[in-house]
Structure 1
Amino acid sequence: MPDLLNISQSPTPQLTSQFPFSKPLEFGAVVTIDATLFDGGSVDDSPLGKAQGVYVASSEGDAGHMMAMTTVFADGGFKNGLRFFGLHRRDASESHIALIGGTGKYTGANGYATVKVVKQGVNKLLLFNVYLS
């Protein structure tokens, strides 16, 4: 199952990631994130970068998953990127995760991202709205 990330050119970046699992994870389970960033939501578009990290089922009987993810953007030779960390709750309409730094032009970046599950056809995607402070 290929991952698909989408970043828009809006003032507030939006990242979309294909949901890596369809059922709740067992406590302690780890799922890797290894995805290519695309502009426009199609793998036929030019890649903008990549995202790597992990989801960890962080509590028993809960729909919360700890997420740690690094994104890097092809613009600038993969020198510009953002780092995210937080708890994504599958049972909430929206979760918030911290933006905890970056590289290149995002060095020292702080902020947060909202994370929402959205459906696109038969796929479930994670929509990230990123807010830099």
Structure 2
Amino acid sequence: MNTFEDPLTAGPSNSSTTLGKAQGFYVLNSFTEFTLFHLFTASITEGDFKGTIDIFGQLREVDPIRYLTVVGGTGAFLGARGLASSTLVNIDHTPPAIWTLSFELDLYY
């Protein structure tokens, strides 16, 4: 199990405009594959739309596009449901490993 608190930015670069942060955890949950169960909240504190988006689900790290479920939200995202599609932008394996993900959200209210 690992917890995280990472910046949310408007683009894939760390120098992109900061929108907020993602906080949560993931758990390795398979004996045969490298799959992770993620549960986190994207807290958006800057920009035109402020609030939180709650995301969870299992994903396989080898998949080029990873799908997670949007299960709720607050503020501008109150009652949001939908799909969070994630793609790997970059990974640096030098300890501590750092990877950059890009998310596309399809939200329904």
Question: Structure 1-normalised TM-score?
Answer: 0.66
- 1:90·1:117 contact (CA, 8 Å) conserved in 2? no
Give the alignment's Cα RMSD to 1 decimal: 2.4
Bigger relative contact order, structure 1 or 2 (CA pairs below 8 A, ≥6 apart): 1
Structure 2's unaligned 5+ residue stretches are: none
1:51 deviates by 0.6
Q: How many residues align?
A: 103
Q: Which residue is 2:32 aligned to?
A: 61
Of all paired residues, the percent bearing the same amino acid is: 31
Question: Structure 2-normalised TM-score?
Answer: 0.79
Match for residue 78 of structure 2 among 107, 120, 127: 107
- 1:102·1:108 contact (CA, 8 Å) conserved in 2? yes
Equivalent position SS for 2:76: helix
Q: String of CA shifts for 1:71-91, please: whole Å, max 9, x gaps.
A: 111137x95110000012112
Q: Which residue is 2:106 aligned to?
A: 131
In the TM superposition, 1:83-98 aligns within 5 A as 83-98=54-69
The structure with the greater share of residues assigned to strand is: 2
